[in-house]
Amino acid sequence: MITTSHLPTAQSANRSPAPATGKPDTRWEVAAVEALFALPFLDLLFRAQQTHREHFKAGEVQRSTLLSIKTGGCSEDCGYCSQSARHDTNLTRARMMPLDEVLEHARAAKAKGSSRFCMGAAWRGPKDKDLDAVAEMVREIKKLGMETCVTLGMLGEGQAEKLAEAGLDYYNHNIDTAPENYKNIITTHTLQDRLDTLEKVREAGIHICSGGIIGMGESQAGRAGLIAQLANMDPPPESVPINKLVPIPGTPLADGAEIDPFDFVRSIAVARITMPTSYVRLSAGREQMSDELQALCFMAGANSIFYGARLLTADNTDAGRDERLFERLGLVSI
């Protein structure tokens, strides 16, 4: 089960951090995750890189491309999101993209080196007729030899099974922020609503892609709670996107305070240590990051990125810049 009751408490303040085994029965108390955050920065990065090399080849980075197949008009009120109908962000709404256009984007992404194609639709949850169309996209993209991922909001009964039958590899459904901060960011659904969808996805045999956004007013203890929630899933998500808030004009978080870059790197490192067998994806916010900051994130254990000019409605790092950075750092795309 994936429930809020699985979130550990900070009762064992003197407990040493749990071993980074990646086994489902490894439990992370929030206090133990906080202890990782409190390590000297270089010690934390050293431990994260050691953990990373125990489970992955050094220097290999998985590339995913993300496409918005239905943009804007979402009924949810997520405070960071440009696609909410409740926020005035001057976003142009668009109906669902036709299959042939989606396939054109997928072929282009594969040609540029992406191994996974992710599709996002701005819904609270999909209607069955819309889900049928997405399932057809999944089937056709699988024929291209790419992994598939979708993010469609909350799923109803039987919908995860329909996506599994189409061959979907990953379902993305981020838990966004610290449990105690959730109501400050979103009021139209609860954290448990999110966890319920993730449980449906897991039961259907689809891999989970779930992470959060750093920099939405959460405390360091809150970040520890977010990562503990993810790490204590049974098993942890196979893919963990760690996003840096991109403040979007017109959203409630448009004027959010900038997070210390080292605190963001710490979040990557702690995610790596607590979820040693998961792909940790350096996600939104890369366009504003220097090459040096991204290099630190890779050193901290990030081994996946979104590749391409757009992340749904936000700009992403130019592909040419990524190619140059990979060459400078000796990274290999997988």
Q: Which residues are catalytic?
A: 74, 78, 81, 118, 149, 209, 281
Could you give the CA distance from residue 17 to residue 276 in angstroms, rounded to a whole number? 14
Could you give the CA distance from residue 209 to residue 333 in angstroms, rounded to a whole number? 20
Cβ contact 236:25 at 8 Å: no
Q: At what angle do helices 41-55 and 291-299 cross, to 10 degrees?
A: 60
Could you give the CA distance from residue 286 to residue 234 in angstroms, rounded to a whole number? 29
Residue with tokens 């057809």, as numbered in its chain = 136
Could you give the CA distance from residue 187 to residue 224 in angstroms, rounded to a whole number? 22
Cβ contact 117:67 at 8 Å: yes
Tokens of 131: 């889900």
* Cis amide bond preceding 237, omega within 30: no
Number of H helices, E strands in the chain: 11, 12
Cβ contact 171:153 at 8 Å: no
Q: H helices within 112-188, ranges in order? A: 128-142, 159-166, 182-185
Could you give the CA distance from residue 226 to residue 109 in angstroms, rounded to a whole number? 31
